[in-house]
Structure 1
């Protein structure tokens, strides 16, 4: 690299100047994810507001208290919160440079997330079998939309983690995979926070 020395200054050629003149690419991608996350906050806030307004509009159909089976919901909540813990352990393993441990904890997180989705799908099938479909009432329409949207996000996060596990197995811990692990972990914690609101506003308040 060519260097130009001037008394009191130290210049390098365009590559060094460009490095200081433009944000790091990985930082820009992380910033873009934060923007996406803010749009998700708006999305879920809108869905929660809609549910709160429509939760009593049952159209003579079944109510939340009649439909919700809380034992399964408690199990789902415990599983998802545990997956948040294992996701945090994956981050710790990455910071210590332990690739196999990182892959292992991500794999356990995927298994827990899959169990959560399985319980949620079973809940939906049970409710439809009981005659509580998405078109039965405004309450059920808002319920399925809110809880289903969260479930779709969890499913997307699971696919994301599986792809990332393969990338880590192939490329190891690099600046790119580090950024991806940090982002998917943040996304997963965000979904856990959303579920806490779902658990409280939809289920606990629905059966009281």
Structure 2
């Protein structure tokens, strides 16, 4: 997922960029209103983090620009003394705000919460991956209109990849997402077996997979 961070303090911005990239997000930085405006015009983002006070404007104006043409979630980064004014941002359509100084884990939790809410509200029941259809509400998978029967582990693995379409997930991220709470042991070797089984059931070419792709040295992904 692609995030825009608008923050004029370059040390804070760089720290945010590093921490968010460690969580698997693609991050684009802007240090001013004008830089942010250009980025909004030329890019599509999944979420925007906006500092309120900028050298040539403010986060409220950026929020207006974002919400004018696109339904993109916005989180304000606000200094404690600005908190009283955050209601203005919420009235403009912002989804949340975090008061500085903040803990990075808190911010990441807020980001995930907002993204989950957006995806739940806009989620399509049917997601197409090539000639495979994922029916979200029914928890069913079809290929060429014929149902594919997956085990619970295979289904969880597929949904991990589907829910992060376009994002490369490391093997560790996948293992954390499919860990069986009932106690079944899932390790790195087991993950390789599940990936192979999933590809076979989806009819993916094991020698040259096009649905569940291997990103060598990093992990796996499903394209948007």
**TM-score, L = length of structure 1:** 0.26
**TM-score, L = length of structure 2:** 0.25
- Bigger radius of gyration among the two: 1
